[in-house]
Amino acid sequence: MEKSPDIPGKTTAIIAYLTIIGAIIALSMNNEPQYRFARIHTRQAFGLHLMFHGFALFSSVWFNQYALYGLYLCYIVLWIYGFIGALSNKEQIVPIVGPSFQKWFTFIK
């Protein structure tokens, strides 16, 4: 079995998906040197974590149990999609919200 070569910034991209704290750590890790692969995945992970926490705060005020299940299901599916993309050296963005994350979080360089 042939091992795929590691690309620059892969470790930073993987750390970004771990938690919101991991995304913040990945922001500082990608300051110098800056890698395109890490930047794409850090934006995706940061956006996913912010979306999850924002909707969780909103749903805690307006409690609906089924909305919470939908939130967790959406977050887990998108998180797994992004995390597997980072592990497999693909610069793929998460469906539906990924292009927006790339536009909104341009401060992540």
Cβ proximity of 53 and 26 under 8 Å = no
pLDDT given for residue 109 in this prediction = 76
Give which of 36, 35, 53, 42 is closest to 14, Cα–Cα: 42
Each as own residue / partner, the long-range contacts of residues 48-54 (CB below 8 Å, 24 or more positions apart, any chain) are: 48/17, 48/75, 48/78, 48/79, 48/82, 48/94, 48/97, 48/101, 49/19, 49/20, 49/23, 50/20, 51/75, 51/97, 53/20
pLDDT digits (tens, 9 = 90+) for 11-32: 999 999 999 999 999 989 988 8
Question: What pLDDT digit, counting tens, does each position of 33-85 carry?
Answer: 889 999 999 999 999 999 999 988 887 777 777 878 888 999 999 999 999 99
Looking at residue 88, its pLDDT comes to 92
